[in-house]
Structures are given as structure tokens and as C-alpha cells.
């Protein structure tokens, strides 16, 4: 395919600067949309919803109809991987995910990677159906949780503000904790490789809890595992673009961008725009970073925040996105407004 006929998202990921940047939104399918809530109400529970291709395909398509984003992100969740490894995972209404925690190598030995593809076959079906149904200019994104973030949920039993149990396990028994990380590197690599075979054109790795780590742990538990996954996936699919999202990594974003060899890094809203331009965009494509709370607030504050991002980052390889997922109380009109502002943008207007 010639450069001009390639999809916009792929062009940006390959390092091209586009006058009007491509955009999509983390959690673009979700509870802020009335049409999502209607379909969600028909499913028995959240995991079952993710594993029902008819429903998962439909809710993936919903935001495309409203927002005409440059990407469709398959509807699923990062916690399907621990579920596929045999850990008990449940999504409790109003509480979020709850897992039967794994706290030592004996419990770790009960996990089993052999049924991974079998268990996740509904996800592959969602991707292969979407690849035939989405518009020709839209890119299909597959994703997985990165090992550290998956380990948090697997060890803590839920998301944690300090992630103390997992960090302590690593400091007390580095070799034991590494067995968990290694298992996840293997499982996530295999899962992503299969997603590409099923139809994913771009992959994103979510490392939502990387901001709590010391420099030493960040290197061993975030940079190294992400780097190894990129290497494994590229060995099977050399040209697949990959986006890394070490949320809240602050100044550590720079080493992450340089060492993991991702095509893009997704930045959270706490990262300074000028800093991202000077330190990250010189190495990779940058994705981000509208604050999901200003998106909820709307009005002039929203218009200004969108404008600031476009002014600072659209002069290099860039994908407009949020700093973290859309929150359920967000008015859909605010998200439509952002889509309109980006579409009407045509280069830096000094």
C-alpha cells in the first residue's frame, strides 16, 4: 500500500506528521454511552459480555458511528488473561474486578497456560468479525494488560493505590515474583501474536499501575517485560505497530520510550506537553493526553485543553487521545465536541 492510501493511525505510528492528527479515545465504548448501557443490561455479567462476540462487536462499533474515530479498539478487558490462566476473576457491580489473590509460588503453580487460546477464542472471533465490518479508513486495535499491571490485580486481588503486597513480594523474593512476570510475558506475547492473526492491525499494552514503582522496580517490572513482549511479537509480525502506556511513569517515560522499542507511547495527563515534545516525540510517536476530568467538565476549559494539546504536539508524529479512559458520567456531547475540534484542526496556527 502506498503511503497516502495507508490508514492515518498507521501512518502516525510509522513516524509521519499529519496536518490533522488521527484520534481515538480510551474507553470510547463504555457506560457514558446510553446505547452501551442498553446492550450491557442484556448480559449476565461483564466477563460473559466480553466473551459474547455479537455483543462485543456491536459495542465496539457504537462509538465509531457517533465519533468517526480513526480506530476501533476491540471490546474486551485486560483481566481476560488471568481468567484464561485459570484464576478466579469476577466483576462486582459498583466495585470493579475482584480476583482470588495469588500470593506465593505454590499458588502460582496452579495457573496453566495450555488453555490460553482455547479460552480466548471468542476474543479472536470478535477481532476477525470487526476486521470485516469497520470502515476502510479505520484501524483495528487489539490490546492486553502489561505484566506488572496484570500482576497487581492477580496478587492484590483488585486494583490497589500502593500495590504494597505485590511490591513487597518482589523485594522479598525476586526470583519467585519473576516467575509470575515471566509467565505473563509468555501469555501476553502469545495472546497478542494471535490477535494479529485474527485481524488486529495495531496493539496497545496497558501498564496502568506503573506509576507506583521505584526506579529499580520500574526497570525490571515495566521496561523489561514490555521490551520482551515487543521483541516476541515482532519476531512473529515484524511490522505490527505497538503502543505502550506506562501510566503515571513521569520522567521514566523517557527510558521506557527508548528501551522498549514501541512505535508510540501513550502519555497520561500529568505529563507536560512541552516536555513530551522535547523528550518523547523526538524518539517515537506520542499519543495522548487530554485529562478525562476536563472532558467530563466540558465548556471553555475543554476547548482550551484540546487546543493546547494540538498546538504543542501536532507538529510531530501524534495521535490524539486521553490521559486515561472516559469516565461514566461524561456527557457524550463533550466527546463529540472534541472529535469535531480535532477534525477541524489543520496544522499548527501560530
Note the residues at the interface with ligand CP3 (CB under 6 A).
26-31, 40, 46, 73, 75, 77-79, 91, 96-97, 143, 159, 206, 208, 325
Min dist. Cβ of residue 145 to ligand CP3 (A): 6
Which of 11, 27, 129, 167 is catalytic? The answer is 27
Min dist. Cβ of residue 234 to ligand CP3 (A): 22
Nearer to ligand CP3, 97 or 316 (CB): 97
8 A C-beta contact, residue 273 and residue 305: no
Please give the residue whose beta carbon sits closest to ligand CP3 in the complex: 208
- CA–CA gap between residue 140 and residue 130 (Å, rounded): 8
**31 classed as catalytic:** yes
**106 classed as catalytic:** no
Nearer to ligand CP3, 198 or 316 (CB): 198
**66 classed as catalytic:** no
Nearer to ligand CP3, 62 or 263 (CB): 62
Min dist. Cβ of residue 140 to ligand CP3 (A): 12
For the residues of 12-77, what is the DSSP string, one character each?
HHTT---SS--B--TT-SSTTSHHHHHHHTTSSSHHHHHT-HHHHHHHHHHHHHHH--SEEEPS--
**74 in the Ramachandran plot: left (φ > 0), alpha (ψ -120 to 50) or beta?**
beta
Min dist. Cβ of residue 143 to ligand CP3 (A): 5
Strands (E), the chain: 71-73, 89-92, 96-99, 139-145, 202-207, 242-246, 264-266, 285-290, 318-322
**Residue whose grid cell is 510517536:** 285
Which of 36, 51, 124, 153 is catalytic? The answer is 153
Active site residues per annotation: 27, 31, 40, 77, 153
Amino acid at each position: 500500500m502506498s503511503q497516502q492510501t495507508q490508514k492515518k493511525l498507521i501512518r502516525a505510528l510509522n513516524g509521519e506528521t499529519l496536518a490533522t492528527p488521527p484520534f481515538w479515545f480510551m474507553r470510547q465504548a463504555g457506560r457514558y454511552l446510553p446505547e452501551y448501557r442498553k446492550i450491557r443490561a442484556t448480559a449476565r455479567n461483564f466477563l460473559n459480555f466480553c466473551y459474547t462476540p455479537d455483543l462485543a462487536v456491536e459495542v465496539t462499533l457504537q462509538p465509531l458511528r457517533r465519533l468517526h474515530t480513526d480506530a476501533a479498539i476491540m471490546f474486551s478487558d485486560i483481566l481476560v488473561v488471568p481468567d484464561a490462566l485459570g484464576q478466579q476473576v469476577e466483576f462486582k457491580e459498583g466495585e470493579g474486578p475482584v480476583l482470588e489473590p495469588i500470593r506465593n509460588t505454590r499458588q502460582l503453580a496452579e495457573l496453566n497456560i495450555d488453555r490460553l487460546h482455547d479460552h480466548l477464542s471468542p476474543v479472536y472471533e470478535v477481532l476477525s468479525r470487526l476486521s470485516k465490518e469497520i470502515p476502510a479508513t479505520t484501524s483495528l486495535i487489539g490490546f492486553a494488560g502489561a505484566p506488572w499491571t496484570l500482576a497487581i490485580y492477580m496478587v492484590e486481588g483488585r486494583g490497589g493505590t500502593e500495590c504494597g503486597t505485590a511490591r513487597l513480594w518482589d523485594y522479598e523474593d525476586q526470583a519467585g515474583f519473576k516467575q509470575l512476570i515471566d509467565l505473563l510475558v509468555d501469555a501476553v506475547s502469545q495472546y497478542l501474536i494471535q490477535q494479529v492473526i485474527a485481524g488486529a492491525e495495531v496493539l496497545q499494552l496497558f501498564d496502568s499501575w506503573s506509576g507506583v514503582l521505584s526506579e529499580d522496580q520500574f526497570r525490571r517490572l515495566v521496561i523489561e517485560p514490555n521490551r520482551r513482549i515487543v521483541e516476541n511479537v515482532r519476531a512473529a509480525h515484524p511490522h505490527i505497530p505497538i503502543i505502550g502506556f506506562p501510566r503515571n511513569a513521569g520522567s521514566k517515560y523517557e527510558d521506557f520510550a527508548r528501551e522498549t522499542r514501541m512505535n508510540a507511547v501513550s502519555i497520561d495527563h500529568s505529563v507536560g506537553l512541552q516536555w513530551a515534545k522535547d523528550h518523547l516525540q523526538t524518539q517515537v510517536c506520542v499519543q495522548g493526553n487530554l485529562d478525562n476530568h476536563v472532558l467530563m467538565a466540558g465548556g471553555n476549559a475543554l476547548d482550551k485543553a484540546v487546543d493546547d494539546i494540538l498546538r504543542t504536539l501536532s507538529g510531530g508524529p501524534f495521535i490524539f487521545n486521553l490521559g486515561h479512559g472516559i469516565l461514566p458520567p461524561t456527557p457524550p456531547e463533550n466527546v463529540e465536541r472534541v472529535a469535531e475540534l480535532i477534525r477541524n484542526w489543520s496544522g499548527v496556527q501560530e
